[in-house]
Structure formats: structure tokens, C-alpha cells
Structure 1
Amino acid sequence: MSHEHLDPHAILETLGLFDITVVAPVHGGTDTAIWRVEKAGTVYALRVFQKGEGDDCQREQVIMQAALAAGLPVPQVHAMGKWHDFPALLLSWLPGRPVAEELRAHPWRAWSLGLLFGQMQATIHTLAAPEVLCQQPEAWINWSGPDERLLQERLHREKQQALTLLHLDYHPLNVLTDGNKITAVLDWRNALSGDPRADAARTVSILRYASLGRRSILELLVLRIFEAGWRRGYEQKRGALGDMNLFYAWASVVMERDLATKLTQNELSLIHQWTLKWKKRIGCL
């Protein structure tokens, strides 16, 4: 989402924050616009949603408050409001930098960073989903789209019944670290309730998508070591994931739908090959 045509000072005043000393845009997000805000030594994050997304903004506020209450390293919501129909959240600014940046700066720590990354996702999956998410227990299955009836029937038969909290956008850009621990889990926009194996498969699909494009053999090796560390850390916390083929098929389908308008045809064809591979393995072609 572009920062253009948005007035962060006016938005902050709408949220009750005046006498700001620093307002700096944070680039990298696609669905929301984000600024780093300082006032009297306190640092905040201003997150502005697109017009008409008031329900999404309120839903994310409820989810983050529930996650914070459960002890997860999630930003505190200081204020929520609306400016010219743009919903906005004023959040605490948590320390650390994205795991992706830490991985680039210290690639030799891929395994240990992967362990931390996996352990935190496993911790998320120990939590029951908040009520706002439990009202749509099939939403994660339906995310695969109306043309995936056979896949959805298989997921209905195989799913776990407990309504676990799923992040569903858990990747190295949305997770912060200080190098020794995970300091923040950000962007809960996609969060749903459901089978934790779906969230784990979604993370794998995003990590594999990061391998698309021109990457050196060394970079690909670092990503694979990081992914292996993630799996070890996750399974240390919650036990073996088991047979994931069905969930990898679901995650590949979701990835195709999610990025259909954002990737080149060549990139989409690579993801489609993953989809076909997993569907073939589970007999869903």
C-alpha cells in the first residue's frame, strides 16, 4: 500500500497523538502503510489500512490483544480510529529486526535462527484461537477456492478438531529477532482458526517461494538450512509434524491464488508445478 495521499500527522491527531518528533515511513508492506513514530522518547508504529477495511482493522486488533494476553511477543494496540475512511492502528514498536535481515547479515546462523523461528510458531500453535476466529472454523479450508472440492473434502476428513490459532503469514519478514530470541510476531491480518499443519505448510510454501528468481547456490543452501532448523525447532516444541503432503497441496493452491496478480507467468508456473506435485502424491488430480 502506498504512503502517498496519506497524512500521517493528521491520522495521528485523529488517534489522539500530538507533538510528534519523528514520523518516518516503513517500506515493505503491501496491504497497509506503516510509519515509525516517536514522541517524547516513546516509539510507536502507525499502521493504516486501505479504505473501507474497518472490519479487518478491528478484527486484527482483537486478535493481537488476545495473542498479547496469551504471552506472545505481539505489539500492544494503543489506539484505533479512522481518518477519511482509512482505518488505522497505533501500535507499540517492538525491538529487533526481521529474521530475514538477520539471516542476510549472519548467514552462518541459519540453523540457530531457524530453531528460534520454529519454536515460536510451535508456541503460537499451543494457543486456542480467540472467539472472533472460532466463528469461521472452515475459513482456512475454503481459502483454497471454490474449484478445490476434492482437496477440501480430504482436508475435512483429516483436520484436527481443536481450533488452534493460525498466523498464516508466518515468514522471516513478519518475525523480529535480536539475534538471541524472537522479539515480535507481526501482521496478524491472515490469522484464522484451524489445523496447525496448515500454518506450518503455509510457512514452508513461503520459504520455498523465496527461492524463486536469481539466487546463488549459497543463498539457496542458507534457506534450506534455515528451513531445516525451523522444522527441528517446531518439532522440539510440539512433536513431529507427520505426513504433510495434503497440507502442502493446500498451501500451494493458496499460494497460487494469493499471488495470481503479483507474479510473472514463469513464477506462477513454478508454483503450479509444486501444486501438481503435491496433488499427485495425495491422489487429488
Structure 2
Amino acid sequence: MIPQSEHTPPDRVLKWVVNSVDPLAAVQSTRRLQGGISSIIHSVSLRTHGEVREFVVRQFDNEEWLKDEPDLALHEAESLRWAYGNGLCAPQIIAFNESGRECGVPTVLMTRLEGSVVLNPANYDLWLNGLAESLVKIHAVEADSFPWAYFTYNDIDTLEIPSWSSSPELWSRVLDIVRGPKPKFKPCFIHRDYHPTNVLWTGNYVSGVVDWVNACRGPAGIDIGHCRLNLAMLLGVQSADQFLSAYLSHAGTEFSYSPYWDILSLVDILFGPPTVYQGWTALGVTGLTDTLMVERIDRYMASLVERVSSHSDDMNHK
């Protein structure tokens, strides 16, 4: 075993990794990966049969998350199996320790994909188009028999107008909309946490999508809305709208867009005042402030209310 440090998983975890891959393998190196804020993620290089292979180990150490969803390791393992088995650019599951008995906490071992997260691309048009095209491919996968189903993180009926907003009247309208009837949709495989930090790139092309622990069957609009929300906070409303246009272009006429899902994705984050996502700062993004996040959320929210009105007018004229 290599010397223990903050960049190294515990010895018991490394032993489990080796035994899961090849008991005769040797650990070459380990590295703590940036971006994971709800679990501990390491890359592990093993030398086995004369070659070096790269793996990723995720340790679920968030007690509150595990209390709400004790099957996290099983969920991610099955999500990876489903995604990889359906030809998506996802890691391949190698092993998982659901109970945490062997590893201390629930743990998942998967292959490591090539590429890296890009948050400041040289060409934003290509970048947004790639994000959209990759998501359309995920939604093309059927999920009728996938065991996990979409649910909202917030109880919509108990939500209140956020005190931090400068547009309480518009938020009142948002809550009315989201408590109204849901549009019809055809369930598909959704990532449930699709945003730029979970997408890997090689050059101008998406090389993979990671962090599948929340994947489930549900409305495609939830993935679209979640990514749009992240883009609105990271870059502004224009980028969120450009992503939507690219998605609609790739999805074609079979997909029916409804802004309802954008709004539902928005209210699902109403746990408190919006703040700068730690994953962005861990990956080198600068210049964002909590004040700017509040301003961008309000602008995005206002754009959604306007989009709902336009969408309703369009539907009435059909």
C-alpha cells in the first residue's frame, strides 16, 4: 500500500478496491478529486497484468443523505449499470459495498473516464451544444423497469415566498404555477443532477457524464430545468436559454417542452438563500458572489414566468 494521506482512501478501502479488481494488483497512486461535496471521491491507479488501469472510488460519508437514502451505493451501482449497458458515456461499475461493512461507509468502485470538467470553454456555442446533445442521448434511453422514480426534494405545498428575493410578487406566481396541474410526459431515463460539473470533455467533445447516484425514471424536463438553473447561476439567463434551444434542436419534434419543469427545478432549491456552488470554486471558477447568485436567480425566475405566459398563449392558439 502507498503511504496514507488526505489524498489516499483508508487502507481498508484500498484493500477492497484491489480485491475487487485483481487481488494481485498493486496500487500505483491515488488522488482526491475536486468537485465532490456530498461524498469523498478519489481516483486510484492500479497496475494489473502489466498495465495501469484507472478507477474512481466514491465514499458516501454524508450521514444526513444516508439517513434519507440508505441505498445510495446500490442506487449508483444500478444507475451506472443501466447507463453503461445502454451505450451511454458513463463509468462502468466494478463493485459496490452497500452496507459499508467492508469500507467503513457505503462505497462504489467504477472505471475512470477520460476527459475533464470544463467551465470556461474557448467556444461557448460548441460547449452548450455539446451539453445539450449529450443530455438528449441520455433521455433516449427507456427506463420503464428502472427501480428508482423521480421525486421532488421539496414539499411544494409547504414552500413560502423566499425572503431574500427582490421580486416576491413574481415568486408568488411561481408557487401558484408549480402547484397547478403537471403537464403530461413520457418517463425516460434521467440523470437527475445533470449540470456542467458532471460532464467531462476531451477537446470540443463530451467524453463522459459522471455522478449517476440520483438517476431515475422521470420527466426529461427535470434534467433540462436543472441544467438551465445551473447555467443561469454560473453564466446568466442567456446561456440557459441557448442550452434549451440546442436541446430542442437535437431532440426534434417528438419532444414537447413545457416551462413547468423549469419552474419545478427552480423551487426544488428553495432551502435558503442561493449561494455560490462549492463545486465551481473547487474547480477554479472565480468572480461569483452570493449576491450575484440571488440576482441571477431572480432574473431567471422572471424569465420563466414570462416563458409560461408565452407558452400558454401558444397552446391556446393551437
Alignment partner, residue 261 of structure 2: 247
Q: Specify every segment of 5 or more residues in structure 1 that has no aligned partner in the other structure, as ranges.
A: 212-219
- Tell me which stretches of 4 or more aligned residues in structure 1 moved more than 6 Å: 261-265
2:93 pairs, out of 58, 61, 77, with 77
Alignment map for 1:103-182 (pairs within 5 Å): 103=121, 107=122, 109-129=123-143, 131-133=145-147, 136=149, 139-140=151-152, 143=154, 145-147=156-158, 150-156=176-182, 158-160=183-185, 162-182=186-206
Q: CA deviation at 1:70?
A: 0.6
TM-score (norm 1): 0.77
TM-score (norm 2): 0.70
Q: Per the alignment, do residues 265 and 144 of structure 1 end up closer, same or farther by CA in structure 2, a change over 3 Å counting?
A: farther
SS state at 2:158 partner: coil
Alignment partner, residue 215 of structure 1: none
SS state at 2:26 partner: coil
The percentage of aligned residue pairs carrying the same residue is 19
Q: Per the alignment, do residues 259 and 24 of structure 1 end up closer, same or farther by CA in structure 2, a change over 3 Å counting?
A: farther
Q: Per the alignment, do residues 144 and 159 of structure 1 end up closer, same or farther by CA in structure 2, a change over 3 Å counting?
A: farther
CA distance in 1, matches of 2:45, 2:57: 10
**Are the aligned partners of 1:166 and 1:193 in contact in 2 as well (CA < 8 Å)?**
yes
SS state at 2:271 partner: helix
Superposed CA RMSD in Å reads 3.3
Q: Specify every segment of 5 or more residues in structure 2 that has no aligned partner in the other structure, as ranges.
A: 160-174, 278-288, 310-318
Alignment partner, residue 231 of structure 2: 207
Residue 42 (structure 1) aligned with residue 53 (structure 2): yes
**Are the aligned partners of 2:41 and 2:57 in contact in 1 as well (CA < 8 Å)?**
yes
SS state at 1:100 partner: coil
Q: Per the alignment, do residues 155 and 181 of structure 1 end up closer, same or farther by CA in structure 2, a change over 3 Å counting?
A: farther
Report the number of matched residues.
Answer: 260
**Are the aligned partners of 1:201 and 1:251 in contact in 2 as well (CA < 8 Å)?**
yes
Report the structure number with the largest CA radius of gyration: 2
For residues 49-83 of structure 1, what are the alpha-carbon distances to aligned partners after superposition, in whole Å with 9 as ceiling and x for unaligned?
11653511111110110011110011011111234
Paired letter, 2:31: A
SS state at 2:31 partner: strand
